[in-house]
Amino acid sequence: MPIYTASTIPDSLTGAIFAIEGVADAAVVLNGPTGCKFYHSAISDSQFPRNVDYDPLSFADRCFFGQPRVPATYLDSDDYIFGSQVKLAEVLSAVATRGYGLIVVINSPGAALIGDDLKRLLADTIKDTPYFAIESTGFSGDFGVGFQTAVNRMLDELALPEAPRDLKSVNLLGISLNQKYFENNYATLRELLALCGIQVISAFGATDSLHTITQSRKAALNVVVCPESGLSTARKLKHDWGTDYLLPDQGQPIGFISTTAFIEQVCLALDADPQPAISEVERARSFAYLHLSRYSSLLGLPQGAYYSIRAQASAAYPLALWLSGYLGMIPAAIEVIEGEDGGLAGRLTDYLATIESTEVVDKPVAETPTEIIFADGDTITASRLVGQRAACIEIGYPALSYLDITRKQLYGPEGSLFLLEQIMNGLRYV
């Protein structure tokens, strides 16, 4: 029987909404039915809380439905015939008084077919706040398409003036609310690069304010952390601003191997000294060795244990490098989620060929016997539905219901130790 939960992948609508909701003082007005609102509002608020007050009565307007984020026009069948103008004016009036620095109306796929003049409606209702509308996020597009559609449009609308380059500064592209521990991942990269004398100016759509984003033309380099959500923007900014970009050849800085490569490649591009940050990675490796040596002497693991991954290529590739190359684990199944990955899916296949494991590519993770799964919550749930008994580590969204309160991250040396902790504890009880 097909496992339908495994096919739930965030699409371009989700990408566009999360791009704007990831800006600290911007708001999305969703022109669409209520069914398109609740998930996006819940995830935006849980990933990036911006309201201390969570009393539903503080958001009692019909467009908020008790949630503090992503007010919607709650379209019904009549609106698709007669238009959404009345409801959209109502929502915009409610949102305009809440002090946002930018208001963005985003059409759901169905609303995009109505043909309302969103620009005129915005001009008639919003007087003192910058705004724009996204008529379509790309029908059936992937998350990265919608995310970059919104980021690129925002940068165009802000019309950032030229600024003198800071030769030891970067922007980070592709980090989004759709990543597990995205805020701490962002903080980790800022901290590591700061050790090397490199300032991170902005990561569009990853908690920065509009003021911070307006400083982004100062960066000497755009670093494409997640090409699936950042490569198109990097190309645009190379064309529009003349800013060079770097696509690290080992993907996201997950695991000691790819973290080291990330630091070295950024520092080489900016003529900076990578050693202070590399020393932090080596410190973590030494600490990991102490625990691994004792763990392996008792259980013989994690070497030889089977793992499966379901993720974008920019995350799957560094994970496979680390799990097989550093820990000696064996791939059972690797599913790469769609997106423009800058060639990293090919690099992953080439690496798997060197360890004689190309047959694992595109095998269904939820259904393939393994000992540990790295995936989103839906895939983990699907594996349980078919009786898999494997340790599971969440690395993406949609997520399960575990509440993360203390700092966790996937990136950098501390992220490597966090994943190692989960691997060693997970394999112990399989």
Q: What is the pLDDT of residues 159-168, one digit of tens each?
A: 898 999 999 9
- The rounded distance, in Å, linking the Cα atoms of 382 and 92 is 40
Confidence of residue 298 (pLDDT cuts 50, 70, 90): confident
pLDDT number for residue 79: 76
Q: Which CATH number fits domain 4-158: 3.30.2000.10, 3.40.50.300, 3.40.50.720, 3.40.50.1980?
A: 3.40.50.1980
Look at the alpha carbons of 104, 243, 343, 395 in this order and tell me if their dihedral is positive or negative.
negative
Q: Judging by DSSP bridges, how do beta strands 244-246 and 330-337 pair with one another?
A: unpaired
Amino acid at position 238, single letter:
K
pLDDT at 56: 65
Instruction: Tell me the CATH architecture of domain 166-271.
Output: 3-Layer(aba) Sandwich (3.40)
* Rounded mean pLDDT, 151-160: 95
**Dihedral sign, Cα of residue 37, residue 40, residue 45, residue 48:** negative
Nearest to 334 by CA among 111, 66, 342, 355: 355
- Please indicate whether residue 203 or residue 7 has the higher confidence score (pLDDT): 203
Q: Which residue has the tokens 């992948």?
A: 9
How much is the pLDDT for 77? 84
Mean pLDDT over each residue of the chain, to the nearest integer: 92
- What integer pLDDT is reported at residue 64 of this predicted model? 82
Does residue 4 surpass a pLDDT of 80?
A: no
pLDDT band for 110, please (50, 70, 90 cuts): confident
- Yes or no: say if 363 and 332 are a contact pair by the CB < 8 Å rule: yes
Both tokens of 133, joined, read 């509308």
Can you give the pLDDT at residue 5? 52
Average pLDDT on 47-72 reads 80
Higher pLDDT, 184 or 98: 184
- The CB-side HSE value for 425 (13 A sphere, CA atoms) comes to 8
Instruction: Tell me the two tokens of residue 67.
Output: 């949630």
Burial of 293 (0-12, 13-18, 19+ CB in 10 A): exposed
The edge-to-edge listing of strands for the beta sheet with 391-396 is 330-337, 306-312, 372-376, 391-396
pLDDT in tens, 208-224: 999 999 999 999 999 99
- Specify burial of residue 366 (Cβ count, 10 A radius: 0-12, 13-18, 19+): buried
Q: Edge-to-edge strands of the sheet including 166-173?
A: 199-202, 166-173, 219-224, 244-246
Per CATH, 166-271 and 278-428 having the same topology is answered: yes
Biggest alpha carbon–alpha carbon distance for the chain: 71
CATH code of the region 278-428: 3.40.50.1980
Listed by start position, the domains of the chain span 4-158, 166-271, 278-428
First CA to last CA across the chain, in angstroms? 25
Does position 65 have pLDDT exceeding 90, yes or no? no
pLDDT in tens, 396-408: 988 888 888 899 9
Taking only Cα atoms into account, the Rg of the chain, rounded to an integer number of angstroms, comes to 22
Share of the chain above pLDDT 70, in %: 97
Report whether pLDDT(3) > 60: no
Residue 382: name the closest of 10, 5, 1, 2 by CA: 5
